[in-house]
A and B are shown apart, each in its own frame.
Chain A
Amino acid sequence: EIVLTQSPATLSLSPGERATLSCRASQSVSSYLAWYQQKPGQAPRLLIYDASNRATGIPARFSGSGSGTDFTLTISSLEPEDFAVYYCQQRSNWPQYTFGQGTKLEIK
């Protein structure tokens, strides 16, 4: 089973700042990695798929990078609505997939 480790567990930043979230896989997942955003009481929302492709309707301030075992989600300038929990998901052996444990992005 592929294990995804996200860091940091919590990230405290202010609106307008840049956020960098990391996801490391226990073995290579090539570029088959996605990022989700989840707000309280809501289902997750897909932000990025295949490591660097923005999903439909996702603002350009969200970008993803990486391949193999190390991946990054960057939010270039935080908006108030971006404070949420973010999960990475590996899709290398679809339709079997796993999620990271999440990074909580909170307002400083």
Chain B
Amino acid sequence: QLQLQESGPGLVKPSETLSLTCTVSGGSISSSSYYWGWIRQPPGKGLEWIGSIYYSGSTYYNPSLKSRVTISVDTSKNQFSLKLSSVTAADTAVYYCADPARDYWGQGTLVTVSS
């Protein structure tokens, strides 16, 4: 059974870069033809797709966030990562890593943007 786990700072200062990593266990990140994704959910609000990555490194980003987002993959560590630059309070959210096609999700991690 595949398991995903997000890790990274829970507090980020405005204008800085948010960095999160998703560690995949129970299977290889490069053994399937599925896309790994980041999704976020501001407190009390709905789900927003941030971006997706294939194990080869091909990426797709939400147009509304594209200028600030970088998603990368490290197959040797079975991880993929999210960087979101120039954050503001509007970026405060629970961030999920996921393989939505197969319905594998991390538990989510709350990142608060505050000075």
Interface residues of A (CB under 8 A from B): 1, 34, 36, 38, 43-46, 55, 87, 89, 94-102
Q: Give the shortest distance, in Å, between B38 (CB) and chain A (any CB).
A: 11
Interface residues of B (CB under 8 A from A): 35, 37, 46-49, 52, 54, 60, 62-63, 96, 98, 100-101, 103, 105-108
Q: A45-B103, A89-B47, A98-B49 are in contact. List 14 more A-B contacts (CB 8 A).
A: A36-B47, A43-B106, A43-B107, A44-B105, A46-B103, A55-B103, A95-B35, A95-B37, A95-B60, A96-B60, A96-B62, A99-B46, A99-B49, A101-B46
Kindly name the residue among B63, B96, B103, B106 whose own CB sees the greatest number of chain A CB atoms within 10 A.
B103
Are A100's CB and B100's CB within 8 A? no
Are A95's CB and B47's CB within 8 A? no
**Are A100 and B46 also in contact (CB < 8 A) when A94-B35, A95-B52 are?**
yes
